[in-house]
Amino acid sequence: MTQPKQVLDSIVIAVSNQKGGVGKTATSVNVAGELARSGKRVLLVDCDPQGNATTSLGINKRALEATTYEVLMGIADPAAAICATGRERYDLLPASEHLAGAMIELASAAEREWRMRGVVRQVAPHYDIVLIDCPPSLGLLTLNALCAADYVLIPLQCEYLALEGLAQLKGTIDRVQQQLNSRLAILGVVMTMYDGRTNLAQQVVEEVRRYFPQRIFNTLIPRSVRVSEAPSYGQLLFEYDPQSRAAQSYYQLVQEIIRRLGKRLGYE
């Protein structure tokens, strides 16, 4: 783990969408990578029992002694569970299938919504940004992430049914904001798996732009086989194929994110 930082509070971003297969984990690991490349100290918290973010970064889940599960249940110290990814300024709090047990065990636990917030507060002083890769559901793990976060980044697949899920997620975010975490805000919606050759993809983007006129990012993440290939090699897109449209798109997306966060990241 890096030395504690001296200026500005850390920013905590939950990457969330209850629908699976929308590019959520790809967005989490590559946005974290691009933020680290821009000079920010980044921690990615894998909060999905599938542990796809952990695998995508080339880390063997079966060799881990402590994961997000042990940390949330108070069995392990967060600092001891964090592992280096082999990339400068980029650390990971990994996950394994054991995390599925937390959804059951936390149901009757005291202050069950606030476990992740407590974990993040312990480690956040060492990082500029903490990203939480949420599971594809609106259950207790996602609720923990939303209670710990300052912002929500919403990856949204360019298909019609995704719009229904977006309305549901927005309702959940509003309830969390009103009842549990008043500082929570939507950082933005990023459109993924975009295929400009289809009318449907363009129509979905326009519909989301009407629904979230100030929140949708201009950068569109294209449908690309590179996004699927890179994790099988334990690599980020900029490592696997830096000239690909997908890698360039994530770079551009992070430039937009930095502009939106502005002074909170130390930029004027």
Residue-wise pLDDT for 13-35, tens only, equals 999 998 888 999 999 999 999 99
CB 222 within 8 A of CB 158: no
Q: What is the pLDDT of residue 158?
A: 87
Q: What is the pLDDT of residue 1?
A: 60
CB 67 within 8 A of CB 95: yes
Instruction: With a cut of 60, say whether residue 3 has pLDDT above it.
Output: no
* Overall average pLDDT of the 144-154 stretch: 96
Q: DSSP state, 76?
A: S
Given the candidates 3.20.20.60, 3.40.50.300, 3.40.50.720, 3.30.360.10, the CATH classification of the domain at 11-262 is: 3.40.50.300
End-to-end CA separation in angstroms for the chain:
28
- Torsional class of 266: left (φ above 0), alpha (ψ -120 to 50), beta (otherwise): left
* Overall average pLDDT of the 210-220 stretch: 89
Higher pLDDT, 264 or 186: 186
* Overall average pLDDT of the 119-137 stretch: 95
Instruction: With a cut of 50, say whether residue 4 has pLDDT above it.
Output: no
Residue-wise pLDDT for 152-181, tens only, equals 999 999 887 777 788 888 999 999 999 999
Q: What is the pLDDT of residue 255?
A: 97
Instruction: With a cut of 80, say whether residue 76 has pLDDT above it.
Output: yes
Higher pLDDT, 51 or 8: 51
Query: In the chain, what are the domain boundaries?
Result: 11-262
Q: What is the pLDDT of residue 110?
A: 76
SS (H, E, C) 116-168: HHHHHHHHHHHCCEEEEECCCCCCHHHHHHHHHCCEEEEEEECCCCHHHHHHH
Q: What is the pLDDT of residue 207?
A: 87
Q: What is the pLDDT of residue 163?
A: 79
CB 245 within 8 A of CB 222: yes
Instruction: With a cut of 60, say whether residue 194 has pLDDT above it.
Output: yes
Residue-wise pLDDT for 222-264, tens only, equals 999 999 999 999 999 999 999 999 999 999 999 999 999 986 7
Quick one: pLDDT band at residue 6, thresholds 50, 70, 90? very low
Residue-wise pLDDT for 98-125, tens only, equals 898 888 888 878 788 999 999 999 999 9
pTM of the model: 0.93
Instruction: With a cut of 70, say whether residue 36 has pLDDT above it.
Output: yes
Share of the chain above pLDDT 90, in %: 71
